[in-house]
């Protein structure tokens, strides 16, 4: 469960800081698996030079970093880097594009199917289905 105060949720909404401990089993108190930490940052958006969204991943037993996901500077299409603990970019996450990378391709996974795809590319980048090494898809609950 998310560990943040009521006041943070009320006042800061989607930019609030939080910690999330993932544990084994259905009940609280299971063996810890991973810990996610999200500091308070500016809302997600293009053309920012600082305060990009990020989520840090930690090993809960040792407290050592397992990497992070960080928003990059973007203009038309949201872009995120998946970063190793040593700070090097392992993958780049981006939505499929059209018109030479200027727009999100809303038809990439079919039209009107309530799915929002993110493609995983090598750190050198990519822009087509042929370049991707993986994908993740957000499916709107109850609609897809």
How does DSSP classify residue 43?
P
Q: In which band, very low, low, confident or very high, does the pLDDT at 1 lie, cut at 50, 70 and 90?
A: low
Closest to 48 in 3D by CA, of 69, 70, 68, 75? 75
Closest to 92 in 3D by CA, of 81, 76, 104? 81
Q: What percent of the chain has pLDDT over 70?
A: 94
Cα–Cα distance for residue pair 31/17, rounded to 1 Å: 24
**Looking at residues 114-131, what average pLDDT do you find?**
81
pLDDT, one tens digit per residue, over 10-66 is: 999 888 999 998 989 887 778 999 999 999 988 877 777 788 889 999 999 899 999
């Amino acid at each position: 469960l998310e560990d943040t105060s009521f006041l943070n949720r009320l006042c800061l909404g989607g930019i609030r800081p939080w910690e999330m401990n993932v544990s084994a089993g259905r009940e609280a108190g299971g063996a810890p698996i991973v810990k996610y930490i999200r500091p308070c940052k500016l809302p997600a958006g293009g053309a920012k030079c600082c305060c990009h969204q990020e989520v840090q991943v930690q090993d809960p037993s040792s407290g050592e970093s397992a990497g992070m996901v960080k928003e990059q500077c973007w203009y038309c299409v949201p872009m995120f880097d998946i970063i190793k603990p040593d700070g090097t970019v392992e993958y780049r996450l981006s939505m499929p594009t059209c018109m030479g990378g200027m727009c999100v391709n809303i038809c990439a996974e079919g039209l009107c199917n309530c799915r929002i795809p993110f493609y995983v590319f090598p750190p050198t980048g990519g822009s087509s289905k042929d370049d991707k090494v993986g994908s993740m898809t957000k499916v709107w609950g109850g609609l897809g």
